[in-house]
C-alpha cells in the first residue's frame, strides 16, 4: 500500500524506509564529495548534469587500456578478405579464361578487394603520410612529367629500363607482399604478435614519428619475419618469371595497391576531390589526346612496352577467337592499371575513416546523454530527500509523491539533449571502433559500390569502342557523385565536405 503520510517522530520506521533513508544518505554524501563548489555555486540539475558530462568526457578511466592505437580491424574480417582474394587469384583464371568477357569480373573482384583491404589496413596504422591540398593540386602535373619522361626514355632514347624497373619492383613487391602476409598472420594474435627478434636498422633509414629520433633497431614479430620471407620468395619468383606469370604478377600488384593505400592518404575531402578531378584530366589527355599532340598514345605505349614491365598493372589473358584471331604483334593480355585502382581507392579509404569517426561520435554522444539523464534522477533524489516537509499535503507543493520535484522528466530530457550535443566537441579523445557491418560503414560501402559501377561502365565503353579507355574518366565522377548523394541523403553534406583526417605527417 502506498501512503503519502509522513510518520511522526515517535513512530518506528519500517525496514524498507530504513534502507531507503540509508541509501538516500549515501547519495547525499556522494553528491557532496563530488561537487565541492555546490555550496557556493547554485546550479539547476540540468546545469549540473551538463557540467558533469563535460568533465567526465575529459577524464580517462585509469583501468581502461591505452588508446595510442585507436583503430582495430576485426580478425575474422581479415581472414575473409584475404581468403576471398586468394580464391579469386587461384580459381578465377581457370573459371573465366574461356569467357570472352572473363576479364571483367576478374578485374572487378581484384580491384574492389584491393581497396577494401588497403582501406582497412590504413585504419590500423599509427602514422600515415598525408597528402595536403597544395600537393593535390600538383599531382596531375607531377604524374604527367613522370609519364612523359618514361615515354621519352623508351621511345626516343631507346633505353632498356628492364634492369632498373625489375630491381625497383622486386624491392617494392617484397615489402608489399611481406606487409600483407604479416597482416594475415598477425590477425591470429597471441604469439604471432609478440616480439621475436631484434632487427638492426641502418642509420638514417627510419625515424620514430613520435620522438623524431633515428630508429636503430626494432622488435620483429613472428608474423613480420614469416611475412618478409614470403615477400622475398614471391618477388624473386616474379622476377625470374620475367613478370609473365600473370597470377603471380596480379598477387604482387594487389599487395602494392593495398600497401599504398595503407601508408598514404588525403588530409581532407577537399584535397581528395581536387586531386581526383585533376587526375581525371590527366588520364583523359594522355589516353585520348596525346596521339594528336605527340603522335602516339603515350599511356598505352608505356603500359604495353616489354622493356618497361612489372607488377604495376593487373593482367588477364585475352580471349582467343578462332574466327577472329589476334594479330601476331598484339599485346596478349587485357590490363587494368594500378592507378585506376589506387586513386579512387584513396577516396574510399577516406570515407572509411569518416565512417569510423561518425561511429565514435554517435556512440560517445549517446553514452553522454544517457549518463546525464540518469544523473538528474540521482542528484535530485539526494537533494529532495534532505528537504523537510516535502510531503505536507499542500496541493501547490513542487514535490511529487515519488520523491522528485515536478517536471523531472523534462529536466532529465533537457540534460540528455545538452550532453548529446556538447559531447561532439568535448570528447575528441575517445577510441574509435570500426563498425562491424557494412550498414555501419555507409559512406565506405557507397563509395566502394560506386567504384564497382564505374569500373563496369569503363569496361562497357571498352567493349563498345574496341579501344583502351581512361578508366578515371568514368570512375571519378561516379564515385564523387555517389558520395555527394549519400551525404545529402543523410543530411551530412557540410560535415563530409569539411571533414579533415587529423595527421601530422604532410606531403
pLDDT tens for 252-286 read: 999 999 999 999 999 899 999 999 999 999 999 99
Separation of first and last alpha carbons in the chain: 73
Containing 121, the helix (H) or strand (E) segment is: helix 103-123
C-alpha–C-alpha distance, residues 416 and 365, integer Å: 9
C-alpha–C-alpha distance, residues 152 and 6, integer Å: 98
| pLDDT in the model for residue 507 | 53
Containing 406, the helix (H) or strand (E) segment is: none
Contact 115, 223 (CB under 8 A): no
C-alpha–C-alpha distance, residues 347 and 266, integer Å: 8
- Cell numbers found for residue 221: 614479430
C-alpha–C-alpha distance, residues 28 and 4, integer Å: 22
Beta-bridge mates of residue 316: 334
- What would you measure as the largest C-alpha separation in the chain, in angstroms? 112
| pLDDT in the model for residue 244 | 84
Query: CA-based Rg of the chain, rounded to a whole angstrom?
Result: 31
433: closest CA among 358, 348, 490?
358
Beta-bridge mates of residue 333: 317
Contact 227, 180 (CB under 8 A): yes
- Cell numbers found for residue 40: 557556493
Per-residue model confidence as pLDDT tens digits over 136-181 = 889 899 999 999 999 999 888 888 887 888 889 999 999 999 999 9
> Strand 197-200 and strand 217-220: pairing?
antiparallel
> CA distances (Å), 429 to each of 53, 211, 217, 374, in order?
14, 20, 30, 23
C-alpha–C-alpha distance, residues 185 and 179, integer Å: 10
Those residues with Cβ within 8 angstroms of residue 414's Cβ, 6 or more apart along the chain or in another chain:
46
Contact 76, 189 (CB under 8 A): no
Contact 120, 434 (CB under 8 A): yes
Show me where the domains of the chain are located: 97-158+266-359+432-497
Q: Please give the model's pTM, rounded to 2 decimal places.
A: 0.73
| pLDDT in the model for residue 135 | 87
Residue located via cell numbers 568533465:
55
C-alpha–C-alpha distance, residues 246 and 238, integer Å: 9
Contact 147, 286 (CB under 8 A): yes
Contact 141, 277 (CB under 8 A): no
- Cell numbers found for residue 465: 569502342
- Cell numbers found for residue 355: 565512417
- Tallying the residues shown for the chain, one arrives at 507
- Cell numbers found for residue 492: 551530412
pLDDT tens, residue order, the chain (507 aa): 443 434 444 444 344 344 444 544 444 444 444 444 433 344 443 344 334 434 444 443 434 333 334 567 888 899 999 999 999 999 999 888 888 888 999 999 999 999 999 999 988 776 778 888 888 889 899 999 999 999 999 888 888 887 888 889 999 999 999 999 999 998 887 888 777 777 777 776 677 766 777 777 777 888 889 999 999 999 999 999 888 899 999 999 999 999 999 999 998 999 999 999 999 999 999 988 888 888 888 988 888 887 778 899 999 988 766 555 555 566 778 899 999 999 999 999 999 989 888 765 555 556 665 665 566 666 666 666 665 544 455 444 455 544 555 555 555 555 555 554 454 444 444 444 455 555 568 899 999 999 999 999 999 999 898 887 889 999 999 999 999 999 999 999 999 999 987 655 555
Residue located via cell numbers 513512530:
11
Amino acid at each position: 500500500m502506498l501512503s503519502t503520510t509522513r510518520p511522526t517522530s515517535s513512530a518506528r520506521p519500517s525496514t524498507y524506509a530504513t534502507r531507503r533513508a540509508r541509501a538516500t544518505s549515501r547519495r547525499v554524501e556522494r553528491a557532496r564529495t563530488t561537487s565541492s563548489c555546490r555550496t557556493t555555486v547554485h546550479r539547476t540539475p540540468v546545469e549540473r548534469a551538463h557540467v558533469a558530462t563535460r568533465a567526465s568526457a575529459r577524464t580517462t578511466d585509469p583501468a581502461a587500456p591505452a588508446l595510442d592505437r585507436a583503430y582495430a580491424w576485426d580478425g575474422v574480417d581479415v581472414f575473409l578478405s584475404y581468403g576471398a582474394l586468394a580464391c579469386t587469384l587461384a580459381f578465377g583464371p581457370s573459371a573465366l579464361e574461356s569467357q570472352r568477357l572473363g576479364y571483367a569480373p576478374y578485374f572487378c573482384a581484384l580491384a574492389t578487394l584491393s581497396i577494401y583491404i588497403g582501406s582497412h589496413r590504413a585504419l590500423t596504422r599509427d602514422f600515415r603520410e598525408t597528402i595536403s591540398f597544395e600537393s593535390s593540386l600538383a599531382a596531375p602535373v607531377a604524374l604527367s612529367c613522370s609519364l612523359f619522361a618514361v615515354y621519352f626514355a623508351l621511345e626516343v632514347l631507346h633505353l632498356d629500363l628492364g634492369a632498373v624497373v625489375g630491381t625497383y619492383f622486386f624491392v617494392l613487391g617484397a615489402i608489399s607482399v611481406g606487409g600483407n602476409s604479416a597482416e594475415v598472420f598477425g590477425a591470429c594474435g597471441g604469439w604471432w604478435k609478440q616480439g621475436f627478434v631484434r632487427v638492426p636498422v641502418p642509420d638514417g633509414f627510419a625515424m620514430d614519428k613520435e620522438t623524431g629520433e633515428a630508429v636503430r633497431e626494432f622488435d620483429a614479430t613472428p608474423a613480420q619475419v614469416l611475412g618478409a620471407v614470403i615477400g622475398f620468395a614471391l618477388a624473386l619468383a616474379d622476377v625470374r618469371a620475367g613478370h609473365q606469370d600473370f597470377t603471380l604478377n596480379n598477387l604482387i600488384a594487389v599487395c602494392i595497391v593495398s600497401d599504398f593505400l595503407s601508408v598514404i592518404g588525403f588530409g581532407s575531402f577537399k584535397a581528395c576531390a581536387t586531386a581526383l578531378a585533376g587526375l581525371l584530366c590527366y588520364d583523359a589527355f594522355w589516353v585520348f589526346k596525346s596521339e594528336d599532340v605527340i603522335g602516339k598514345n603515350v599511356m598505352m605505349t608505356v603500359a604495353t612496352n616489354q622493356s618497361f614491365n612489372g607488377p604495376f598493372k593487373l593482367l588477364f589473358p585475352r580471349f582467343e577467337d578462332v574466327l577472329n584471331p589476334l594479330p601476331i604483334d598484339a599485346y596478349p593480355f587485357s590490363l587494368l592499371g594500378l592507378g585506376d585502382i589506387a586513386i579512387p581507392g584513396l577516396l574510399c579509404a577516406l570515407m572509411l575513416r569518416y565512417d569510423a569517426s561518425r561511429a565514435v561520435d554517435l556512440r560517445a554522444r549517446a553514452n553522454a546523454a544517457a549518463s546525464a539523464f540518469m544523473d538528474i534522477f540521482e542528484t535530485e533524489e539526494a537533494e529532495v530527500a534532505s528537504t523537510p516537509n516535502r510531503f505536507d499535503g499542500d496541493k501547490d507543493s513542487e514535490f511529487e509523491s515519488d520523491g522528485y520535484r515536478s517536471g523531472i522528466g523534462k529536466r532529465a530530457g533537457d540534460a540528455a539533449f545538452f550532453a548529446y550535443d556538447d559531447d561532439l566537441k568535448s570528447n575528441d579523445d575517445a577510441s574509435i571502433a570500426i563498425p562491424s557491418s557494412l550498414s555501419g560503414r555507409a559512406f565506405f560501402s557507397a563509395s566502394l559500390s560506386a567504384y564497382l559501377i564505374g569500373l563496369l561502365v569503363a569496361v562497357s565503353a571498352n567493349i563498345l569502342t574496341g579501344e583502351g579507355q581512361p578508366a578515371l574518366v568514368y570512375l571519378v565522377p561516379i564515385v564523387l557523385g555517389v558520395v555527394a548523394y549519400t551525404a545529402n541523403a543523410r543530411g551530412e553534406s557540410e560535415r563530409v565536405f569539411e571533414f579533415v583526417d587529423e595527421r601530422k605527417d604532410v606531403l
